[in-house]
Amino acid sequence: MQIQTQDLQNLPERLPLFINPHAGSASALLEQLRKQKRLIIHQITPDKLRVALQTEIAAGTPRVLVCGGDGTLALAASILMGSATAMAVVAGGTLNHFAHNWQLPIELNAALDLAFTSPQVTEVDVGSVNQDVFLNTSSVGAYVHFVRARELYERRMSYRLASICAGFKILLRLRSGRMYVDGNKNHSPLIFIGVRERDMSFSGLGAVHATSQNVLHLLIVKTTTYWSLTQLIFNVMFRGLEPATKLENVASQLVEQVVINNSQHKRSIYVALDGELTLQTTPLKYRYVPNALLVVTPSTGSSARE
């Protein structure tokens, strides 16, 4: 992680903001955003975001604002990576993991103020699988089925209630699959990959560890029965990761890259990237990419995790 400084005097009076008009919270956010005279608002669908951001990069725009959830931010990151254009985050998702991990403001006005007043941009790390980028987590297996079930339930109920119902459904139908990790065969219902080391204690479950190493965190769940799954959940939530690994229910590794395959033959499978489903061709080639993306962060320096 490295920190740079941009000259605020070189910022234009108005900055471009990109938002998907079809996103769940877009209509409410747009009503507030239109009151901001300092923004040039682009209502744009994900399929047109690449061209729009490439235009800003080519024009030398020092920073752009991206409004959306982690999936939208990851798409923007894949386009902005390696450029001198920084991304200012306007959180518009349900959980906003990326903003929380980098201690970026969630409240709209605070996020806009940060975009215009902070000279600091931080080079943040990302993960990649094949040609796609993720900012927080990726998973193979049960979580993919969970996302599908949640999307179906969301048509009839709230996000949180849909998540609970989908979770119970997946637990009742949990199945282990044969997966090869760097050529080693595993029977696992779920493989999880996080950008940077993850906290597995109850108080910080899933968040970036306070003393995180700059790597990918690979977790392979090895439960094959409901009883072993119950043991795993209890140990992870109430006793931390170490007791769970001692029970040999979870294999935990810190890696810079890893190859995951579901067979000896190439075929396509669904993979979750920051909560969004993508169709990938196996083998899945995961890689840690350090200092990949410029993100506007608070100038105190306390936002970036060492």
Look at residue 299 and give its three-state secondary structure. Answer: coil
**pLDDT on residue 243:** 47
Which pair of tokens denotes residue 143?
Answer: 């979580």
Mean pLDDT of 259-288: 88
Domain count, the chain: 2
List C-alpha distances in Å: 247 to 144, 232, 261: 25, 8, 25
Q: What is the CA radius of gyration of the chain?
A: 20
At 42-55, the pLDDT tens digits run 999 999 999 999 99
**pLDDT on residue 27:** 80
**pLDDT on residue 153:** 72
Which residue in the block uniquely carries the two structure tokens 């910022």? 11
107 shares a domain with 167? no
| Residue 240 confidence class, pLDDT cut points 50, 70, 90 | very low
CATH number, domain at 101? 3.40.50.10330
CATH number, domain at 153? 2.60.200
**pLDDT on residue 25:** 77
151 shares a domain with 262? yes
**pLDDT on residue 300:** 66
37 shares a domain with 146? no
Helix ranges (H only) for 59-102 are: 70-80, 97-101
25 shares a domain with 96? yes
Residue 206 in any domain: the answer is: yes
**pLDDT on residue 63:** 97
Residue 19 in any domain: the answer is: yes
At 186-238, the pLDDT tens digits run 888 888 899 988 765 444 445 676 666 789 999 888 766 666 665 555 554 44
**pLDDT on residue 223:** 66
113 shares a domain with 241? no
**pLDDT on residue 122:** 96
Range of the domain at 85: 2-124+291-296
62 shares a domain with 94? yes
